């Protein structure tokens, strides 16, 4: 009898510990109407409610994720938000999974932002030419497929920054580099030329609402 009571007690304690682990885990992504707010130990920013931060929107994974990740991916919550498919867009997705019988990988456009953090810039690189450190520049510039559309001096949360817009083939990039007290942040957003004007407001929202801690 005592062993049964002890076993039941251990099971109850285990359940409570597991529940407490998830309940008291940090919440990185919070929804407020049409806006989601992401915040970790180093930065915060807003995105539309139709976008998300990869993995940080998963309650099961969140307790195991870093509060100071070296990089995060921000993208549309629905994989079919930007699509070349000319049929009913609802056919493309069911329960968050692409319907491969209705679409192919080429139907869904890649629209995404990667935010990365680094302690130093690559050797020989300054904020003014930071975009040249990307491997895509080295590969495409010599072939004439890299076109720098604009290079702008801006501030992000009062910090010195450079924003580069460039086109590589059929894809346009908005690439922002920020100097934050000797540490650097890069916000690299991309969209096919066809969808860039639609996605650019999201790219700008990330930059305009970004706070560096």
Question: Please, which pLDDT band fits residue 109 given cuts at 50, 70 and 90?
Answer: confident
- Across all residues in the chain, what is the average pLDDT? 84
Contacts of residue 7, Cβ cutoff 8 Å, sequence gap at least 6 = none
CA torsion through residues 47, 48, 53, 56, sign: positive
pLDDT of residue 81: 85
Give the architecture (CATH level 2) of 2-77+109-212.
Answer: 3-Layer(aba) Sandwich (3.40)
Higher-scoring residue by pLDDT: 95, 206:
206
Tell me the mean pLDDT in the region 126-141.
94
pLDDT of residue 102: 47
Tell me the mean pLDDT in the region 118-137.
94
pTM value is 0.81
CA–CA dist 114, 120 (Å, integer): 18
Tell me the mean pLDDT in the region 32-37.
95
CA–CA dist 17, 83 (Å, integer): 44
**What are the beta bridge partners of residue 74?**
53, 113
């Amino acid at each position: 009898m005592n062993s049964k009571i002890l076993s039941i007690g251990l099971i109850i304690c285990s359940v409570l510990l597991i529940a407490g682990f998830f309940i008291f885990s940090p919440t990185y992504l919070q929804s407020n109407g049409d806006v989601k707010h992401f915040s970790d130990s180093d930065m915060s920013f807003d995105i539309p409610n139709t976008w998300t931060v990869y993995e940080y929107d998963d309650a099961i994974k969140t307790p195991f994720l870093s509060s100071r990740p070296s990089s995060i991916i921000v993208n549309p919550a629905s994989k079919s938000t930007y699509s070349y498919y000319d049929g009913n867009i609802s056919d493309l997705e069911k329960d968050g999974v692409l319907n491969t019988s209705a679409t192919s990988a080429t139907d869904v456009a890649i629209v995404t932002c990667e935010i990365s953090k680094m302690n130093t810039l690559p050797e020989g690189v300054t904020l003014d030419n930071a975009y040249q450190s990307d491997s895509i520049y080295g590969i495409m510039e010599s072939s004439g497929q890299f076109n720098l559309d604009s290079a702008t001096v801006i501030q992000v949360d009062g910090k010195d920054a450079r924003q580069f817009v460039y086109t590589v083939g059929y894809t346009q990039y908005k690439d922002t580099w920020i100097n934050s007290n000797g540490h650097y942040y890069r916000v690299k957003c991309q969209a096919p030329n066809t969808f860039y004007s639609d996605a650019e407001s999201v790219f700008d929202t990330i930059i305009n609402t970004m706070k560096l801690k």
